[in-house]
Structure 1
Amino acid sequence: MEYIAHIKDDDASDGVNRIEETVTEHSEKVAKLAEKYGQPLRIPHIVCIGAMLHDVGKLNKDFSEYIRGSSRYERGDIDHSYAGARYLEEYTAGTNGYVRYTAQLIARIIISHHGLHDWWTDKCKNYYKSRCSKQERYKEINDNIKQFISDNELNNILIDATNEYSKIDEKIQQICNSEKNTISLVTKAFYFGMLERLAESCLIDADRTATAEFMEGIEITEPSEDEIQRNWLDMKQRLDNKLSKFSGSDSLISKLRMHISDRCCAFAKNDVGISQLIVPTGGGKTLSALRFAIEYAVEHKVEHKKERIFYISPFMSILEQNGDVIREIVGDDNYLEHHSDMYCKIVGDKSKSKEKVAEELEDYELRCQHWDKPLIATTMLQFMDTLFSSRTETIRRMHRFTNSVIIIDEVQSIPVKCVYIFNLAMNFLANFMGCTIVLCTATQPTLEQCKYPIMLDKESSMTGDYKQDFVDFARTKITPLLDNKGGYSYGEAAAVCMDKYRENGNILFVVNTKDAAAKVYSEVSNLNKEESFQAKLIHLSTNMCPAHRRNAIEDIRDMLNKGQPVICITTQLIEAGVDISFKCVIRSHAGMENVAQAAGRCNRNGEKVCGDVYIIELKEENVSSLGELTEARQQSINTIIDVMSKKSDDYLSVDAMNYYYNHFYSECTDKKGKDILKYQLDNPEDDILNLLSLNSIFRNSNEFCRDGQAFKTAGDNFRMIDNNTIDIIVPYNEEASGIIDELNGKTTISQALELQRKAQQYTVSVYDYTFKKLAENDALNEIKVRQDEKVYIYALKKEFYNNATGLSTEGKPQEAMFV
């Protein structure tokens, strides 16, 4: 009897034909793909066995009847994921050592091919054992497996798989043996967990790709090695042409940028694992990093050959700023920009027909699933989710990092809670997945000196001794205004701002909170009205929707380019990577990395000999809810004191930043004294590092265990950015108001989803207390988007959106933006 894996309707002219795909056919396709994905990772036989056995739970009459629609069973009623695992568990019973470890690894990825699990649960239950003990339909399934794959065939592949596993195990032991015992145990268990996630990624992607090919006729073709190499050479030529336009410039800054770029290009001749590109703000690090990546791919054709390049940015504003430049260099066909705003860009292209837009959107979504373009630019959130989230669509992409160059821009923006798991994951990518990682920043955090350190190359600096670069690019002077006892009120700070504006003609004032931005903006606005020559005053914060913020930043650029007087009051969203230059900057007291990034928005292109940057304490600014910022502020004070004690005023020197980060990381604990860098959870006894390694709380043991991780709990709790917020669509412009009106009308579920995706650029996220305040003030329209379910979205009433400062809880009349 043939057992069915999938079935589809084929609409033919003479009626509807039903096409069936057998379990054998599907499994062979999946095995072929999985083996291909696993080959460069040196685990082809491990994932091949997982692919061959992942669906053997469908080798029974009940499932075939269910899939044909002729049974009482519904989706999810029949557990088909346990059977292959149980079969392997029984097949290798009585063995030990590497054979047993290998079989159990494969069994776990079979069980999890539709979603991650905790192998030990919070009830101290061995979930793996319970799944492998299931009985339902197993006798029938077991009888059919012999016809599906012979013992001899399985044994031969298992021998090769065991050899693969043993080599990885030896490498893990070798890497970890030099560490302290407790740290070594955690690191080993973490790496074994990453190995499992990687194998799972190969299986999930192969399964979904083969299924889509059968069900929807979607066939994914990937370039040959020759095509990949030609792509790199073409990119190199385009980049060289672009750089040749700068190389002849008489500008000192252009010459300094080319000197950095040339050193990066030369560094590509080395074998690189994890390196650092430490470049002063305005030093052209993005193009330099891209030049290194392309040159590295060209240079290393045999060993360490590269299949793709990833450009990872912490902020969409940086992606949007750099996207067109990267696209120009690599070419449209070789480039994928993966972030939430791309949907709006595609559907908002009025120059194309609806059919063309739909076609482009379908292709874009397919590419985002596969990450198969030569160069992929995406956010830090997408990157970290791929490594740690429990969602299968993110796990699926992990193996795509294989043999890639990964450029991580503004690496200092990694949340402190993620530091340890980030470090260990980068070590795994470099040592086990053939990745070359470039950590880019002007303020390099001392990740290599943490308790769980990142494993930098022995010669890790891409530009050699970079201290002189900071001297050459020094364009600002930092002046702490922290001696005003108790700090400055908002009114006093506004007065300082206006004084510095009069001296310079434009000024940027960066604060830590949205509330402070609104209050300072109001105070400065009042003072500005009294000026005989008023400045153009602009506010920026996440109380403004993304479209609003983008337009405001473009307005600022335009005014600065025209030499018009402008004052910008903003939260830190403008700091990292936004190519904008003011003559003077004021920064509310924060960490030294924030001061450095704010300084990077001052005199960026050397418009004057030296730009002034002031650090100011706002006594009314409440930062208690901003987590580690309190410790960062304390360590920045300590750093300033240390620099002063050395009779220096270079607060952003390489030595000063090393002092700051070393002390910050060592002192970063929560209220209960727990190490924040482990990613602490609400349960004070647990953290994500522990869940992804020893899982000692759930297992009730601190002994080493390579297969006890709580992947689901860790993945469900992992948030790169805390998102306990509620999204509200705001009536920023006519298009936004039109979307709200359409959602209020009658829509199908698919229409409502499309409108919600269009509304992303007009959405503001608020915390619960702000949402309650809006609700109390009758500021929200509640829209029920699914009549059969209690699924609501919220839209802001027009009088509660201010075209200068964005969302307001008070519902004031509209104010004109000073532009």
Structure 2
Amino acid sequence: MAGKLWAHSARSSDGLRHELGDHLRGTSRRAGEFADPFDAGKLSAHCGLVHDVGKGSCDWQSRLMRAEKHGGRVGGMHKHAGTWLLDQQGLGIMAAIVFGHHGGLPSRSRLKAELQFADTHPLVAEAIGRVGEIVPEIHLPGPIPLPGWLPDAAATDPYALDLLVRMVYSTVVDADYLDTEAHFEAAARPMHPTSAAGLVERYEQGRVKMLADVPPSPVDGHRSEVYAQAVDAAAGPRGIYRLPGPTGSGKSLAMGGFGVHHARRHGMNRVIVAVPFMSITEQNAAVFRNLLDRDCEDPIVLEHHSGIDLDDGDPAARWQRLAAENWDAPFVVTTTIRLFESLFSNKPSAMRRVHRLAGAVIVLDEVQALPDHLLIPILSALRTLTDYFGTTVLLASATQPPFELLSPLRGTRIREVIAQPKPLYKALNRVRYRWLLDPKPTMAQIADEIAAEPQVLAVVNSTSDAHRLHRMVDERRPSLHLSTRMAAAHRRKTLEEIRRLLADGEPVAVVSTQLVEAGVDVDFPKGFRAYASADSMQQAAGRVNRSGRLAYGRMTIFDPEDGNKAAKLIYGAALEATRDRFGPHCPPDDLDAMEAYYKARFDFHNVEQAGQEIQKERQAHDFPRVAELFRMIDEWTVPVAVRYGDIEQLERIVAHLRGGHPGSSAQLRALRPYVATLPRGAATRAVDDGMAAPVVGDLIEWLGDYHPQRGIEVTSPDPEELVF
């Protein structure tokens, strides 16, 4: 008889070890429950049941006792037994789930090699035999039921199996984490008591209260109509929806309202709102918290992105830290980067939350910002989620791309939230364009014009142009600046100051890179935008006369003869597609011209081919290669810790990180308010010149000057180092 077998060492509170049978059954139960929304409960439960069978060998048990007594890692092999068992039971690629439950999903070729190794290894047979005595159900009496939709899906969707593996892997990894945590914490983590399906009344009450506190606006009637149409559309079936709406039309409230009403209609557990930039994440999360959270109650809204500090002593911090690991919250606000890089990852820490996408309402805000080269795999995954995993997707944008032209959504019904968008765009046309293209003005001339305006926003295409134009304007009058060369907390503070000055009717001039465009809630009477892609120019115009309190705001589009060199680098063929269609004869808010622009942009960027390598590797089940290829952030930017705010806290964090102390991940989260970014080349030169010093990984600490308005200022001959 095997006797007692252990999964984990003794916990410090009472000295009790974690029995292996309890851990396997506990993981199985949780994984099965997580997978029920996509009809894979029995499959996930069985994968969870066998995931740690390899711990049954005498060798591994001895290693555990030695590590418990002397410290250090257990080591040894424990993944091969369960992997081999699944393969022998005819579950094929699903065996990768067990092999990768700690280190990450492997490639099919790696899995094949490991199975050959396991086939003759004596510890594999020994572990299976010993565990089988105490958990006999690891041996199947018959085939495991697979999702009923899988045969049809396999015939029509070549990526359905890829997503099923990812989903089942996520359930097993999350269940493993939670069962292990329950042992060491001596208590199971309570699941959130509320689901998104129960949030409608709370949301509607919060909305009424919020609107009562906002000064009336001429566009309020249109915003109410947009909201009403979103709620009406929420009564429709699960699937893909589109919410086009001009900037300032109340899309944020409408898309949240759609989410909670649709969740109630279909009994769905969560709404996940994903936006492209952290600045919008913080803004939207604050809005939704105001609507949904209540004092002295469990928080409803989880804000999860790379910039949030979860270790600030707030009573809600522990809930946020735990929930962020697996999105166990009814309303999640995150970034598209975190959402999709989790979905296409192969690592357990990122993927343990992926199963929460099943049966969820996913709201993708500012979808025009999704990178063209990744559109094919992204849209393909969204379609599979809606077809087979009970998910609904809402695509929201003021400059809505016609994604139905691309192969993943071709032939898919996309339901319109706004039945007649053109009249809405016409009614909310609050901006008149002015063009300074021929002759081209100088930056000094533009600075003169900006300085003459009481309240004005100027948006340019690069940090170099932003720094230069801000210096020129600031010489003429006091002004503010926004770019990623500033620490996150610095940008947040600057935005708060901008909004205060605007609300009080005080003079304010702002020079920014394009980070201010997508969804940042500011309302200027006049704006200036360096020539860019059509969608970027229209998004910038959305910061002008946003609330319609003027007959018309004015947006000046300029193409400076001594600036704007980074525009072609940033926008590529989209810039040429814009020049062919937009100018004094046709403003960027022309919907027909915008659709033609996107068609040309998709062709110029060869979007259909750009994502095919990822799709090919998805079909081949090369999970590490997919993760390597799927990158939403260019790797030539690096994080830089700057001395802004509480310098003593920054020094403590940096010292901890440099010392490699436990808890470094928590320290990284606490570091985010201090982080700016630099191009990799500029960062390398700064370290070589003694202006910065390495900390850990690619993180560096800035030792040079930090401008109180513009942040880090560096010069570079490389145009790729001018962006953002």
Deviations 1:171-225 (A, max 9, x none): 342xx3xxxxxxxxxxx3322111110111111111111111112224123357x
1:476 aligns with 2:431: yes
Shift of 1:152: 10
CA distance in structure 1 between the aligned counterparts of 2:549 and 2:304, rounded to whole angstroms: 35
Which residue matches 1:797? 703
1:318 aligns with 2:318: no
Q: TM-score, normalised by structure 1?
A: 0.80
Which residue matches 1:234? 201
CA distance in structure 1 between the aligned counterparts of 2:325 and 2:686, rounded to whole angstroms: 37
CA distance in structure 2 between the aligned counterparts of 1:555 and 1:229, rounded to whole angstroms: 34
- Does the 8 A contact of 1:273 with 1:437 survive in 2? yes
- Does the 8 A contact of 2:210 with 2:291 survive in 1? no
1:545 aligns with 2:531: no
Q: 2:419 aligns with which of 458, 461, 464?
A: 464
CA distance in structure 2 between the aligned counterparts of 1:806 and 1:768, rounded to whole angstroms: 17
CA distance in structure 1 between the aligned counterparts of 2:55 and 2:262, rounded to whole angstroms: 46
The secondary structure found in structure 1 opposite 2:418 is coil
- Does the 8 A contact of 1:235 with 1:294 survive in 2? no
Shift of 1:497: 4.0
Deviations 1:111-145 (A, max 9, x none): 22223344345xx9944654553524123234335
Distance 1:676 1:749, change over 3 A: farther
The secondary structure found in structure 1 opposite 2:434 is strand
Q: 1:731 aligns with which of 608, 624, 643?
A: 643
CA distance in structure 2 between the aligned counterparts of 1:607 and 1:131, rounded to whole angstroms: 72
Shift of 1:340: 3.1
- Does the 8 A contact of 1:246 with 1:254 survive in 2? no
Amino acid in the other structure paired with 1:665: F
Which residue matches 2:104? 116
1:106 aligns with 2:99: no
Which residue matches 2:165? 196
Mapping for residues 753-768 of structure 1, pairs under 5 Å: 756-768=668-680
Which residue matches 1:668? 605
Distance 1:244 1:625, change over 3 A: closer
Amino acid in the other structure paired with 1:652: D
Which residue matches 1:441? 397
CA distance in structure 2 between the aligned counterparts of 1:51 and 1:584, rounded to whole angstroms: 59
Task: Identify which range, 616-625 or 201-210, moves more after superposition.
Answer: 616-625
1:774 aligns with 2:723: no
Which residue matches 1:222? 191
Which residue matches 1:719? 631
CA distance in structure 2 between the aligned counterparts of 1:386 and 1:742, rounded to whole angstroms: 26
CA distance in structure 2 between the aligned counterparts of 1:596 and 1:709, rounded to whole angstroms: 40
Which residue matches 1:555? 497
Shift of 1:61: 0.7
CA distance in structure 2 between the aligned counterparts of 1:792 and 1:269, rounded to whole angstroms: 48
Deviations 1:221-270 (A, max 9, x none): 3357xx548832432442453377389x8743111110111111111221
Amino acid in the other structure paired with 1:728: V
CA distance in structure 2 between the aligned counterparts of 1:730 and 1:737, rounded to whole angstroms: 12
- Does the 8 A contact of 1:312 with 1:380 survive in 2? yes
Mapping for residues 22-41 of structure 1, pairs under 5 Å: 22-41=19-38
Q: 2:552 aligns with which of 606, 610, 618?
A: 610
Which residue matches 2:220? 254
Mapping for residues 473-512 of structure 1, pairs under 5 Å: 473-484=428-439, 487-488=440-441, 492-499=442-449, 501-502=451-452, 504-512=453-461
CA distance in structure 2 between the aligned counterparts of 1:88 and 1:777, rounded to whole angstroms: 55
Shift of 1:518: 1.2
CA distance in structure 2 between the aligned counterparts of 1:49 and 1:536, rounded to whole angstroms: 65
- Does the 8 A contact of 1:736 with 1:759 survive in 2? no
Q: TM-score, normalised by structure 2?
A: 0.90
CA distance in structure 1 between the aligned counterparts of 2:467 and 2:396, rounded to whole angstroms: 32
Distance 1:428 1:593, change over 3 A: same
Deviations 1:646-679 (A, max 9, x none): xx5343222111111111011104xxxx966417
- Does the 8 A contact of 2:9 with 2:65 survive in 1? no
Deviations 1:538-593 (A, max 9, x none): 12111111111112222222222233333211100111111112222221121111
Structure 1 unaligned spans of 5+: 92-99, 177-187, 348-355, 529-534, 680-686, 694-707, 786-790, 812-819
The secondary structure found in structure 2 opposite 1:765 is strand
Which residue matches 2:722? none
Which residue matches 2:719? none
The secondary structure found in structure 1 opposite 2:690 is coil
Amino acid in the other structure paired with 2:261: E
- Does the 8 A contact of 1:54 with 1:110 survive in 2? yes
- Does the 8 A contact of 2:197 with 2:260 survive in 1? no
Distance 1:550 1:139, change over 3 A: closer
1:84 aligns with 2:82: yes
CA distance in structure 2 between the aligned counterparts of 1:72 and 1:738, rounded to whole angstroms: 35
The secondary structure found in structure 2 opposite 1:280 is coil
Work out the number of aligned pairs and report it. 709
Distance 1:222 1:78, change over 3 A: same
Q: 1:655 aligns with which of 577, 583, 592?
A: 592
Which residue matches 1:701? none
1:630 aligns with 2:572: yes
Amino acid in the other structure paired with 2:473: V
Amino acid in the other structure paired with 1:169: P
- Does the 8 A contact of 2:8 with 2:17 survive in 1? yes
The secondary structure found in structure 2 opposite 1:512 is coil
Task: Identify which range, 332-341 or 251-260, moves more after superposition.
Answer: 332-341
Which residue matches 2:40? 43
CA distance in structure 1 between the aligned counterparts of 2:120 and 2:596, rounded to whole angstroms: 56
Distance 1:521 1:759, change over 3 A: same
Distance 1:620 1:417, change over 3 A: farther
Deviations 1:423-470 (A, max 9, x none): 011112211211111111100111111133377535x11021111110
- Does the 8 A contact of 1:511 with 1:570 survive in 2? yes
Which residue matches 2:512? 570
Q: 1:590 aligns with which of 515, 519, 532?
A: 532
Which residue matches 2:720? none
CA distance in structure 2 between the aligned counterparts of 1:76 and 1:662, rounded to whole angstroms: 56
Which residue matches 1:518? 467
Deviations 1:608-664 (A, max 9, x none): 2112212222344465697561211111111217xx7xxx53432221111111110
- Does the 8 A contact of 1:46 with 1:106 survive in 2? no
Which residue matches 1:377? 333
- Does the 8 A contact of 1:7 with 1:19 survive in 2? no
The secondary structure found in structure 2 opposite 1:603 is coil
Amino acid in the other structure paired with 2:81: A
The secondary structure found in structure 2 opposite 1:394 is helix
Shift of 1:64: 0.8
Distance 1:542 1:467, change over 3 A: same
Mapping for residues 667-686 of structure 1, pairs under 5 Å: 667-669=604-606, 677-678=610-611
Distance 1:407 1:782, change over 3 A: closer
Distance 1:768 1:90, change over 3 A: closer
CA distance in structure 1 between the aligned counterparts of 2:616 and 2:497, rounded to whole angstroms: 47
Shift of 1:713: 2.2
The secondary structure found in structure 2 opposite 1:569 is strand
The secondary structure found in structure 1 opposite 2:95 is helix
Shift of 1:364: 2.0
1:296 aligns with 2:262: yes
CA distance in structure 2 between the aligned counterparts of 1:296 and 1:276, rounded to whole angstroms: 14
1:169 aligns with 2:154: no
- Does the 8 A contact of 1:743 with 1:752 survive in 2? no
Q: 1:328 aligns with which of 269, 275, 290?
A: 290
